[in-house]
Amino acid sequence: MKLFVTEEGLVEGARFIGSPNCDERPAGCAIELIVIHSISLPPGEFGGAGIIELFTNRLNPVAHPYYATTADLKVSAHFLIRRDGELVQFVPCAKRAWHAGESSWRGRGRCNDFSIGVELEGDERVPFTDAQYERLAALTRALEARYPIADIAGHSDVAPGRKSDPGPQFDWARYRAMLKISRQGAKAAKETKKTKLSPRRTQRTRRKTKAK
Ligand SMILES: [Zn+2]
């Protein structure tokens, strides 16, 4: 599904749950980086309300032993992609979400200033789902259409030694191949849609994807 980012930085079709954990980006600061994260709360459990509660400061510290240390964190991300591909938005892209923490990318610190944070519901044991890759690729395309995105990095890339997400289960090659195909332009995207009708083209597309 194609996604669209409005001028205020809201994604049409996303479920919006506002987080208070955000503020203004520095004046004139362009959005140039996407930071990919992974999260599960409680750790290793999927589908619960924990992530949403964390990002909206409603995590009950006694609901799970892990929450005792987590509940008072003031954190957020712009987006969460759940296991079934559902897209949740917590912070408009125009605002600064608090996801990267102490961080640096290509020698430039404070990544929150110039980045968009995308959380994938998952952990370091279980592969991410097809629905998550599809939604992430669609979201990336939509963000690239709105902002001068120059780079995509993992949280572990911008905070090495301190953070390990999205972790070894995140298939960067697969994600980049999906983006590469979509970047071939609107015409190519239309053709890709037609692959269902054209076995020859389907094969070619598959081979291309595999080769990456
Ligand atoms: Zn992270």
Q: What total number of domains does the chain contain?
A: 2
**Distance of CA 199 from the midpoint of ligand 1 (Å):** 40
Provide the pLDDT confidence category of residue 1 given band limits of 50, 70 and 90.
confident
Please write the tens of the pLDDT for every residue from 129-141: 999 999 999 999 9
Residue 11 sits in the same domain as residue 89: yes
Task: Count CB neighbours of 32 within 10 A.
Answer: 18
Same domain, 145 and 162: yes
Q: How far is the CA of 77 from the centre of ligand 1 (A)?
A: 9
Identify residues whose C-beta is under 5 A from ligand 1, the ion: 37, 155, 165
144 with 198, same domain: the answer is: no
Q: Note down the domain range covering 153.
A: 4-170
For residue 35, the CA-to-ligand 1 centroid distance in Å is 8
Model pLDDT, residue 77: 98
Select which of 24, 119, 121, 144 is catalytic. 119
Q: What b/e string do you get for 142-174 counting C-beta neighbours within 10 Å, with b at 16 or more?
A: bbbebbebeebbbbbbbbeeebebbbeebeeee
- Per-residue pLDDT, 39: 98
Is 144 catalytic? The answer is no
Please give the model's pTM, rounded to 2 decimal places: 0.86
Quick: pLDDT tens for 176-198: 999 988 777 645 555 555 555 54
